[in-house]
Amino acid sequence: MKSKRKTTIKDIANVLKITPSAVSRALNDNPRISDKTKEAVKKVALELEYQPNQLASALRSGKSNLVGVIVPKTNSYFFSTVVESIENELNKEGYNVIITQSNESYKKECRNIQTLLQTQVDGIIASLANETVDFSHYEKIKSKGIPLILYDRGENDIGVDYIGIDDYESSHLVVEHLVEQGCKRIAHLAGLSQARIYKNRIRGYVDALEKHNLPLDTDLIKESNLTLEDGRKKTKELLRLPNRPDAIYAAGDYAALGALQILQENNIKVPEEIALVGFSNEPFTSLIKPTITTISQHNKKIGKLVAKQFLKRVNDKNWKPVLTKTILKAELIIRDSSKKI
């Protein structure tokens, strides 16, 4: 089937017997064009299903009213809620959001940024992929003077605005709670330590053990991408240890769910034999049995703060990229999976 040719300004001009420049001015509400002509142009444009070329318009005006948002994965409640909050705030100010997914891939993240830059977005809001250790593609955004805001996963070396929770303190909250429940051998299903947030969660976990005079056993730290399957695999490894843990702290709720599945498949009572804590407060954590103790990351608040920071930057003609951090205090939501006492 042959695709329909796109309607152009010239087509509208031919119908109305006026010049293309007059059509362009009418569509842009130029005061030199009469209201009668504007109405006629808009009517014909609607009838012919005319769609303006956003890219050409952005190149002419230097403003597209588009903001690119990069998420590592779209199946995460945390990221979807953050994006929804960002979009709600930016829509109020006349901006539309283009959402891209890196799927934790460095190469895909680079392609996403290249596409967004070619689309002439007015700014980019991003959370880094797990694979990302080279930040040159983010330097390209900065060199063009385009506002760049990082959320949840960011790196100090990029030197821009960052908004997220206190990952180090989050681990302290978890370990403190598990110690209060009588746990003495706490395992950590960690994210990849090359990412700053997971490095901070590991550091917080290690320091919290030391604070409570608990020995550090590196066999109890298992790094992964924190998928459900990773949670299952790493928990099997923990159960094969001669001295298995009496608690598991997963740095992601899907890994915690995978851990719970393995524990239940092996008839291990949760939390009586092994307590369990996740991270992110995914909706399923409050629906399954036992309900999973987890960390709330204040998703909506992060999205709102990110949007407001972008608006502040894009409206400041003298803005230059510098490192700023807005760190929110995490909240531990205690549920059945960790309540031994």
Give the domain extent around 96.
Answer: 64-165+299-329
Residue 119 · residue 64 · CB < 8 Å: yes
Asked if residue 288 and residue 250 are part of one domain, the reply reads yes
pLDDT in tens, 16-67: 899 888 888 888 778 888 999 989 988 988 888 877 765 555 445 557 899 9
Same domain, 21 and 130: no
How many domains does the chain contain in total? 3
Same domain (yes/no): 235, 213:
yes
Q: What is the pLDDT of residues 263-303, one digit of tens each?
A: 999 999 999 999 999 999 999 999 999 999 999 999 999 99
* 3 state DSSP class of 126: strand
Instruction: Give me the residue label for tokens 């760190």.
Output: 327
Both tokens of residue 107?
A: 């190469």
Q: Which residues of the chain have pLDDT under 50?
A: 1-2, 58-59
* 13 sits in which H/E element: helix 9-16
d(C-alpha 135, C-alpha 106), whole Å: 10
pLDDT of residue 59: 47
pLDDT, position 56: 54
Q: Per the domain annotation, does 99 fall within a domain? A: yes
Separation between Cα atoms, residue 201 and residue 157, nearest integer Å = 19
Single out the residue of 223, 220, 224 nearest to residue 246, CA to CA.
220
Residue 58 lies in a domain: no
